[in-house]
Homo-oligomer: A and B are copies of this chain.
Amino acid sequence: MDFQGYFPIWDKLAPGHQEMLLDNLTERNIKKGAVIHNGDMDCTGLLLVRSGQLRAYILSAEGREITVYRLFDRDLCLFSASCMMRSAQFDITIQAEKDTRLWVIPAEVYRQVMEQSAPAANYTNEVMAARFSEVMWLMEQVMWKSLDKRVAAFLLAEAAIEGTLLLRLTHESIANHLGTHREVVTRMLRYFQSEGMVRLSRGAVEIMDEKKLAALGNT
């Protein structure tokens, strides 16, 4: 399937706008681990994921990270093109979590289409509202939830994404998703292990008692 099949509101666009998008697209393959966009870069453009997985995160001055949202097949990343919105004043970093195939739409081209096309602008609204909801969810998590519950919920979410209970994750990477320190995660995972919820090995965390972990993560 081509771009037409992946871009959700393709059929609602005027032929002229469809042409503008097609004429200016580029397709790219991004290696797992590569940073596609960060605050220092010029406007990278909108990213439409064909296959793979991206994560968007923010960085502290000291280099700590927290994952804000993730993007999967058919998801559109707006904030790698935040230059097209005057009011979007924040820096976000986008990194490939898996080998990813995606299309890049130049920000200026998308802005022009959006300016003229109510369907494109409304679709963009919906995408932004979805990201907004994810950020609000995260805000509630970091404000009101203790870290043990957040680690538990994160492990379960990973298991759902990967379709396996054996998670190839370092303590460092878990800390970077949750905005905390590796040492804190290590202590927490050891406690989980002592309670029989996980088994730890080099570079992996295996979920042993999904139910108990879920009971913790969902409170």
Contacts and interface: CB of A to CB of B under 8 A. Distances in A.
A9 interface: no
Interface in A126-151: 126-133, 135-140, 142-144
B60 A133 contact: no
A87 interface: yes
Interface string A70-109: 0000000000001001111110100000000000000000
A144 B60 contact: yes
A131 B116 CA distance: 23
A85 B144 contact: no
Interface of A: 58, 60-62, 64, 66, 68, 82, 85-90, 92, 114-118, 121-122, 124-133, 135-140, 142-144, 179
Given A89-B130, A135-B136, 5 more contacts: A68-B139, A85-B125, A85-B129, A92-B136, A121-B121
